[in-house]
Amino acid sequence: MQELLLRLEKELQVDYRDDRIGSDRTDCMHFHEGYELVLGVRSENRCFLHDTGYAFSDRTLIFIPARLVHIIKYRPDTPYSRYVVNFSEAFIQKTLAALGCPGLLAELSSRNCLCVQLSPQQYFAVHGLFHALHTAYRRADGLPEARGYLSLLLLEAARLLPLGPSHPAAEMSAAHRLARGVARYLDENYAKEIVLEELAAQFYVSKYYLCHSFHEATGSGVVDYLQCRRILEAQKLLMQGCDVRQTAERCGFRTMQHFYRVFKRVTGTSPGAYRLPTEE
């Protein structure tokens, strides 16, 4: 399992990536401490946000809340160009409050749909904001300007993202419907002991079909998703000052050794260091 928690090295990070066909890309499940905005420029991929799969194609705009488990499933041998903006709440909150929308991040995070396919006209405007943000970010004195462009992007996201589901369950493939149900079940029952055979029986499918369908829909294994969910919940408890042993028990780990090993693999640090960070 790869390291799943991607930390912000700065309060704002803006990146433009333009991969040629055949570039080495690996499906990755992860979550961020901060928020993320993504704009697909050229893409033929898919993404899985919490329990819903979306097409991640040209002109796709995605908002990803803090600490939301998400997976990018790449299609091999296809071009891939996109803008990605990662930012902390502290970086933008004062500006949003000054604009009269202090609850915008919370409102966006509560949306049922976090992904939208833009029309050519909408894409033209949004792409311009991403480009301006990227240009300002790369300048040594550009952070104040970048903060303004990011605020405009968030306001545009609030206007463009649908308030309801992007597509009804009837339009999903069987694999995606199963993956969505499994993800929701794991989100609600991560503290319990999960046995794949018993989980498959909950959904009236075989263990093989369960694992194959989940991976087909998300690009991730069932166990990897469960471990990610458990560590995410453990981090929340540790940040609240919960005892390490109690945290392990409340998040479904039967032994401390297993908890330490998985926590280190996912976050790159120990539970104790995460709960009590060393001040420099």
The 10s digit of each residue's pLDDT in 140-182 is 888 889 999 999 899 999 999 887 655 545 456 787 788 888 8
Averaged over 23-40, what is the pLDDT? 79
| 199-213 confidence digits (pLDDT tens) | 999 999 999 999 988
Three-state DSSP class for residue 156: helix
| pLDDT reported for residue 241 | 83
Find the distance separating the first CA and the last CA of the chain, reported in whole Å.
30
280 falls within a domain? no
| pLDDT-derived band at 184, boundaries 50, 70, 90 | confident
Please say whether the beta carbons of 69 and 50 come within 8 A: yes
**CA nearest neighbour of 224 among 245, 194, 255:** 194
Is pLDDT larger for residue 89 or for residue 273?
Answer: 89
Averaged over 217-222, what is the pLDDT? 75
Rounded to the nearest angstrom, the gap between the alpha carbon of residue 153 and the centroid of all alpha carbons in its chain is 18
Please say whether the beta carbons of 77 and 22 come within 8 A: yes
Cα separation, 242 vs 244, in Å, equals 6
Cα separation, 181 vs 225, in Å, equals 13
Three-state DSSP class for residue 107: helix
Is the pTM of the predicted complex or chain greater than 0.95?
A: no
183: domain range? 170-275
Please say whether the beta carbons of 30 and 93 come within 8 A: no
| Cβ atoms within 10 Å, residue 273 | 14
165 falls within a domain? no
* Domain boundary, last residue among 106, 141, 160: 160
Averaged over 102-109, what is the pLDDT? 93
| pLDDT reported for residue 13 | 92
Q: What is the H or E stretch that residue 115 is in? A: strand 115-117
253 falls within a domain? yes
Counted residue by residue, the chain has a size of 280
Tokens 């970010």 belong to residue: 137
Domain count, the chain: 2
- Domain of 103, CATH number, reads 2.60.120.280
Do 67 and 155 sit in the same domain of this protein?
Answer: yes
Do 31 and 115 sit in the same domain of this protein?
Answer: yes
| pLDDT-derived band at 89, boundaries 50, 70, 90 | very high
C-alpha distances (whole Å) from 40 to each of 11, 180, 197, 249, 254 are 22, 23, 38, 40, 41
Burial class of residue 66, CB neighbours in 10 A (0-12, 13-18, 19+): middle
Whether pLDDT at 277 is above 60? no
| pLDDT-derived band at 2, boundaries 50, 70, 90 | very low
State the average pLDDT for the chain.
Answer: 83
